[in-house]
């Protein structure tokens, strides 16, 4: 899906959920879409400031939080950044594969595999929050 098609679909998706993809939120999403791989909030802030002039960090963080809440982005805590969710609002826990050479990011459904980790945590009385697991390494292209 092209970035323009993604933005149109995201706008429709938000409307269907009773939310609004405001001009600022749309611009932040477009900036994330324009970057390959994991995107840092400060990158988005710098790009937004170049395009709009003055933009405060809380503005960007609120927009990013909204996009995560809507299921359009995933927060990748381990890498302190964000990635685009290609299919909106994942109902699964993902395995995020990040190539350390080219920056390619892929997402895979790892719900069944992560069940063992959740079970081990539960046996110890620990209740983990829902999150994605990040693995770094080299993609097929870079490995070849």
Render pLDDT for 12-46 as a digit per residue (tens, 0 to 9): 999 999 999 999 999 999 999 999 889 999 999 99
Structure tokens at 93: 């826990």
pLDDT band at 115 (very low <50, low <70, confident <90, very high): confident
Span 4-11, average pLDDT? 94
Domains of the chain: 3-84 (1.10.10.10), 94-143 (3.30.1490.190)
- According to the annotation, is 90 in a ligand binding site? no
Beta-carbon count within 10 A of 107 CB:
18
- CB-based contacts of 88, cutoff 8 Å, min separation 6: 9, 10, 13, 70, 71, 72
Q: Residue 14, annotated ligand binder?
A: no
The answer to whether the annotation marks 85 as part of a ligand binding site is: no
Sign of CA dihedral 70, 71, 76, 82: negative
């Amino acid at each position: 899906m092209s970035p323009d098609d993604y933005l149109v679909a995201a706008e429709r998706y938000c409307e269907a959920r009773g939310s609004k993809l405001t001009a600022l939120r749309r611009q932040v999403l477009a900036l994330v879409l324009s970057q390959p791989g994991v995107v840092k909030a400060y990158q988005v802030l710098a790009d937004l400031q170049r395009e709009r002039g003055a933009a405060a960090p809380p503005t960007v963080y609120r927009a990013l939080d909204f996009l995560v809440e809507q299921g359009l982005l995933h927060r990748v805590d381990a890498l302190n950044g964000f990635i685009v969710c290609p299919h909106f609002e994942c109902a699964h826990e993902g395995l995020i594969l990040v190539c350390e050479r080219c920056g390619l990011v892929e997402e895979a459904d790892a719900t069944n595999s992560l069940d063992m980790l959740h079970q081990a945590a539960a046996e110890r009385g620990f209740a983990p929050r829902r999150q994605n697991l990040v693995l770094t390494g080299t993609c097929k292209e870079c490995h070849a």
